[in-house]
Amino acid sequence: MTAQKAIMAGLSAVGLFLAVGLAVAAEHNGPGVSDTEIKIGNTLPYSGPASGYSAIGKAQAAYFAMINDQGGIHGRKITYLSRDDGYSPPKTVEQVRKLVEEDQVLAMFQTLGTATSLAVRGYLNDNKVPQLFVATGADQFNDPKHFPWTMGWQPSYRTEARIYGRYILDKLPAAKVAVLYQNDDFGKDYLIGLRAELGDKADKMIVAMQSYETTDPTIDSQIVALHASGADVLLIAAIPKYTTLAIRKVYDIDWHPTRFLNSVSTSVATVMKPAGVEKADGVISAAYLKDPTDPQWQGTPGYKAWLDWMKKYYPSGNLADIFTVYGYSTAQTLVAVLEASGDDLTRDNVMKNAASLHELKLPMLLPGITISTGPDDHAPIKQMQLQKFEGNGWKLFGNVIPGSGGQRDATASEGQGK
C-alpha cells in the first residue's frame, strides 16, 4: 500500500506535467488572432464507428491550406485545429474546452453531430464563443433567441422531410407510407418532419416505421417487415451504407414502392452503384450540393475548380465522396465570414458577420441555391431541389424549393408505435 500511495502521488504530478505540456501558448492579440494567424477549432469523429465523417475535416484542412497558399485572409493564415471526439459527447466537451481555454481559438467551426454539439452549446454560448455552422441538420441549432452564438449550415432534416411530405400529398394522396430510419436524432428528425407535413393525415398514411442501429450489420429484417405492411411509398432516412443495403433488399424481395432517399445518402459512386443502378432507378431525393460523380457537372467551372483543388491539396481524398464537397463548401462559407470581418477579428464581429450573409453563392451548391442569414435566422441554407435517379445519374426536376428553416418544427412529435 505504501508503494501504491507514493506512486499515486507521483503519477498525479506526472499527469499534471503532461497536461501542461500539451497546452499551447496563448496569442497576444485577442482570442486566437494575431497579425499572422487566425485559430479556428473543430471537433469531429476521427475514430470509432462514425469515423466515416473524418473526410469532412480533412477536406476543410485542405481548403484552408489552399487559402493560406493564396495569401490567407488579409495576410493572416488560418490555423485549423481539428480534434477527435469519437462521436462521444463527454469527449467533445473536453476537446472544446481545451480548444477554447488552452488553444484560445477565435471560434468553433462545424462541431459534428447533434448530441455532441448540444453537449457544448451551453458552454460556448455562456462564454460567448461563436459555434459556427454546426455539422448536422437538426433544427435546434437555429434558435438565435436562446442561443445567439450558435448557427447551423445545411438544410434541416425536418425541412427536407417536409418537402417529401408535400410531394406525397400533392402527387400520391392515397399513399400508404413506410419509413426506415436510423435510431438517433438524424433518423428521427425525418420522421418528425414527415409527420408534421402530413398533419392530421399522418397517422392514417404512415402504416409502418422501422428503425435500425449503426451497429446492426444488416437491415433485411426491417425491410421485410416494412414490406409486409402493404405500403407503396418508402422513405429511407439512413446513412449511405444502410441506404445501399435498403435499396438492394427492397428490389430483391420484389417490392417496388415509390422510394424517397435522404440527401445525405445520394452519392452515385458510393451508394447508387454498389446498390446497383438498375435497382436504384426511380428513387427521389432532394439535394443542395452537386454530386461530384454526376456526369451533368463534369466540365462546369465550379466542378473543375473543385477537381483541381482536390488533386493539388487533398490527393488522398476520394473523388467520389460527397463529404469532400461538403467540407469544401463549409470551409468556403467560413472564409467568406472571416473576410467580411476585415481587421476586426473579434468574436463579436465574426458572429455578426456570420448572421449577415446575403445570398452568398458557392460553386458547389446547386444552381439557384444560396446562403442567407440574419439576426433572427440562423439557418444558412434553406433551399433544396428535388431530383430523380434515372439511368446513371440524378435528374433535377421542379423548382428550387424555399424551405422554412425549421423553427416551427421544434415541438413536433414522432408518433406512436414501432
Q: Assess 6 for contact with other proteins (CB under 8 A).
A: yes
Identify the residue among 101, 308, 343, 376 touching other proteins (CB under 8 A). Answer: 101
How many residues lie near other proteins (CB under 8 A)? 89
Q: Would you say 102 or 377 has its CB closer to other proteins?
A: 102
Q: Would you say 11 or 305 has its CB closer to other proteins?
A: 11
Grid coordinates of 171: 402527387
Interacting residues with other proteins between 13 and 52 (CB under 8 A): 13-16, 18-20, 22-23, 46-49, 51-52
Identify the residue among 29, 30, 71, 122 touching other proteins (CB under 8 A). Answer: 122
Q: Assess 90 for contact with other proteins (CB under 8 A).
A: yes
Q: Would you say 85 or 197 has its CB closer to other proteins?
A: 85
Q: Assess 405 for contact with other proteins (CB under 8 A).
A: no
Q: Would you say 49 or 368 has its CB closer to other proteins?
A: 49
Say if CB 371 and CB 357 are below 8 A apart. Answer: yes
Identify the residue among 60, 114, 262, 266 touching other proteins (CB under 8 A). Answer: 114
Identify the residue among 34, 72, 94, 148 touching other proteins (CB under 8 A). Answer: 94
Q: Assess 55 for contact with other proteins (CB under 8 A).
A: yes
Pairing of strands 233-237, 177-182: parallel
Say if CB 39 and CB 106 are below 8 A apart. Answer: yes
CA 20, 21, 24, 25 torsion: positive or negative? positive
How many Cα atoms sit within 13 Å of 167 on the Cβ side?
Answer: 24
Identify the residue among 274, 302, 393, 415 touching other proteins (CB under 8 A). Answer: 274
Contacts of 285 by beta carbon, 8 Å cutoff, 6+ apart: 260, 261, 262, 263, 266, 386, 387, 389, 394
Q: Which stretch binds other proteins (CB under 8 A): 163-171, 249-257, 336-344, 359-367?
A: 249-257
Grid coordinates of 278: 438498375
Nearest approach, Cβ of residue 102 and other proteins (Å): 5
Q: Assess 320 for contact with other proteins (CB under 8 A).
A: yes
| Whole-number Cα distances in Å, 331 to 56, 59, 302 | 10, 8, 15
209-222 per-residue burial string, b: 16 or more CB within 10 A, e: under 16: bbbbeeeeeebeeb
Nearest approach, Cβ of residue 380 and other proteins (Å): 22
Order of strands, sheet of 131-132, starting from the edge strand that comes earlier in the sequence: 77-84, 37-44, 107-109, 131-132
Q: Assess 123 for contact with other proteins (CB under 8 A).
A: yes
Grid coordinates of 246: 435498403
CB atoms within 10 A of CB 62: 22
Q: Assess 294 for contact with other proteins (CB under 8 A).
A: no
Q: Assess 254 for contact with other proteins (CB under 8 A).
A: yes
Q: Would you say 43 or 285 has its CB closer to other proteins?
A: 43
Nearest approach, Cβ of residue 238 and other proteins (Å): 12
Q: Assess 183 for contact with other proteins (CB under 8 A).
A: yes
Nearest approach, Cβ of residue 134 and other proteins (Å): 14
Give the separation between CA 357 and CA 340, rounded to whole angstroms.
9
Q: In 3D, which of 255, 249, 201 has the Cα closest to residue 233?
A: 255
